[in-house]
């Protein structure tokens, strides 16, 4: 084949490749934009409703662009913030303690299971893994926590049941297995104990995995409302999401809460816009933090996927 025909051939292929690329790009951008709109519009609707005047919501319903702008709902929330702040306090406390403790225990467990020289690692792994295959169900756990552990209406009940999760242990273990054994070996020769090796060598080397799992745990605690639904009846122990849940379903409760914090009894509270403003305030910190968090998340998931 002469060089000219070869060149023409290549040019043809390239041209075809370019049109294919173009088609794919059009499909790709269009689809992704549609999906992104689909993901973000519901949030915008809530933001818009929280900034609307109650009367216009009643008259025209929730709209994407508020027809009348008003910050009344937020004003009310921040005027008597006692209940809301207490709920924030509970959530922040639970999230902090739960994440630190949970992360420490998860990584320590994962480290032991990642040690190839540990004779019983298979047996212990199975002991943990089995709990994902079979469980006693809601009723036995419920009775255990209420009748035997007596954890009803305590902060502990919001922390303990979610402290550890087999999936996190597995992800962490697979990350730690990729750390060369030679590091542990040489530290041993230098006379370091197992716990010291874990704390001073393995923990600093596992930062990406710790960040990812830590974020998973923190997110679970921040968004938890289920344990509160089951085990919390005292209003001063309500975490943020459960408080929101209560208020969404019960505006009378909202009125009472406002009265308790010293508000003048207002029979016509802006119910609809207030619900939406509360939703925004309860979501706020997550929405603000998550674009920054997300990059670690992606990194961590990459690890998970490569190992998986």
Partner 1 sequence: MKQKQHGFWDDVKKYRTLLLMLTPAVLFFLVFAYVPMAGIVLAFKQYNYTDGIIHSPWNGLDNFRFFFGSGDAWRVTRNTALYNIAFIVVNNVLQIFAGILLFEVAGKWFRKITQTILFLPYFISWVVVGAIAYNLFNFDVGTVNVLLKGLGMQPVDIYNTAAYWPVILVVVSAWKALGYGTIMYLAAITSIDTEMYEAAEIDGANIFQRIMKITVPNLIPTVIILVLLAIGNIFRGDFGMFYNMVGNNGLLFSSTDVIDTFVFRSLTTSNEIGMSAAAGFYQSLLGFATIMLANYAVRKYDKDRALF
Which positions from 181 through 220 interact with partner 1, judged by CB under 8 A? 193-195, 198, 219
| Per-residue interface string for the shown chain with partner 1, residues 80-99, x marking contact by CB under 8 A | --------------------
Q: With binding defined as CB under 8 A, does residue 144 bind partner 1?
A: yes
Among 108, 155, 211, 263, which residue interacts with partner 1 (rule: CB under 8 A)?
Answer: 108
Residue 52: strand pairing partners: 69
Give the 3-state secondary structure of residue 2. coil
End-to-end CA distance of the chain: 48
64, 68, 76 from 58: Cα distances, Å:
15, 12, 18
115 touches partner 1 (CB under 8 A): yes
> 157, 169, 171, 237: which one contacts partner 1 (CB under 8 A)?
169
Strand partners, 69: 52
- Interface positions, 21-40, toward partner 1 (CB under 8 A): 21, 24-25, 27-29, 31-33, 35-36, 38-40
User: 173-211: buried (b, 16+ CB within 10 Å) or exposed (e) per residue?
Assistant: bbbbeeeeeeebeebeeeebeeeebbbebbbeebeebbb
Query: Is position 265 an interface residue for partner 1 (rule: CB under 8 A)?
Result: no
Cα separation, 46 vs 279, in Å, equals 8
Contacting residues for 78 by C-beta, under 8 A, at least 6 apart: none
State the minimum distance, in angstroms, from the CB of residue 85 to partner 1. Answer: 18
- Minimum distance of partner 1 from residue 189's CB (angstroms): 16
When asked if residue 296 is in the footprint of partner 1 (CB under 8 A), the reply is no
Residue 223 in the binding site for partner 1 (CB under 8 A): yes
Closest CB to partner 1 among 265 and 291? 291
Binding partner 1 (rule: CB under 8 A), the pick from 74, 80, 296, 297 is 297
Q: Give 265 or 290: the residue with its C-beta nearer to partner 1.
A: 290
3-class DSSP assignment, residue 290: helix
Q: What share of the chain is helix, strand, coil (3-state, %, to 5)?
A: 80, 0, 20
What's the 3-state SS for 264-287?
CCCCCCCHHHHHHHHHHHHHHHHH
Part of the chain binding partner 1 (CB under 8 A), chosen from 18-26, 177-185, 206-214, 258-266: 18-26
> In whole angstroms, how close is the CB of 210 to partner 1 at the nearest point?
16
- Per CB under 8 A, contacts with partner 1 among 241-260 are 241-242, 244-245, 248-249
Q: Helices 271-307 and 207-223: crossing angle, nearest 10°?
A: 150
Minimum separation from the CB atom of position 264 to partner 1 (A) = 26
Taking CB under 8 A as the rule, does residue 173 contact partner 1? no
Contact segment (CB under 8 A) with partner 1 among 54-62, 78-86, 179-187, 253-261 equals: 54-62
One of 70, 95, 99, 109 touching partner 1 (CB under 8 A): 109
Q: 117 to 136, contacts with partner 1 by CB under 8 A?
A: 118-120, 124, 127-129, 131-136
Cα–Cα nearest to 103, from 50, 162, 187, 59: 162
Element (H, E) at 26: helix 3-50
156 interacts with partner 1 by CB under 8 A: no
């Amino acid at each position: 084949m002469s060089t000219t025909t070869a060149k023409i051939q290549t040019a043809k292929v390239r041209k075809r490749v370019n049109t294919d690329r173009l088609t794919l790009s059009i499909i790709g951008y269009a689809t992704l934009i549609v999906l992104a709109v689909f993901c973000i519009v519901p949030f915008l609707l809530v933001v818009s409703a929280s900034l609307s005047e109650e009367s216009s919501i009643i008259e025209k319903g929730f709209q994407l662009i508020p027809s009348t702008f008003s910050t009344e709902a937020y004003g009310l929330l921040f005027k008597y913030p006692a209940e809301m702040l207490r709920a924030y306090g509970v959530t922040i406390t639970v999230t902090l303690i739960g994440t630190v403790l949970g992360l420490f225990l998860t990584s320590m467990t994962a480290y032991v299971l990642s040690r190839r020289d540990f004779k019983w690692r298979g047996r212990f792994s199975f002991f943990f893994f089995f709990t994902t295959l079979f469980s006693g169900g809601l009723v036995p756990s419920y009775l255990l926590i209420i009748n035997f552990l007596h954890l009803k209406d305590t902060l502990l009940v919001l922390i303990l049941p979610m402290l550890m999760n087999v999936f996190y242990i597995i992800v962490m273990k697979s990350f730690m297995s990729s750390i060369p054994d030679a590091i542990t070996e040489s530290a041993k020769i230098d006379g370091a104990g197992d716990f010291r090796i874990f704390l001073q060598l393995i923990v600093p080397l596992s930062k990406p995995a710790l960040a990812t799992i830590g974020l998973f745990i923190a997110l679970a605690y921040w968004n938890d409302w289920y344990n509160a639904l089951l085990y919390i009846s005292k209003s001063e122990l309500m975490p943020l999401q459960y408080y929101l849940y209560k208020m969404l379903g019960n505006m009378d409760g909202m009125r009472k809460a406002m009265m308790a914090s010293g508000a003048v009894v207002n029979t016509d509270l802006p119910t609809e816009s207030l619900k939406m403003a509360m939703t925004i305030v309860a979501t706020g910190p997550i929405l603000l933090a998550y674009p920054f968090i997300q990059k670690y998340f992606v990194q961590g998931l990459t690890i998970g996927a490569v190992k998986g």
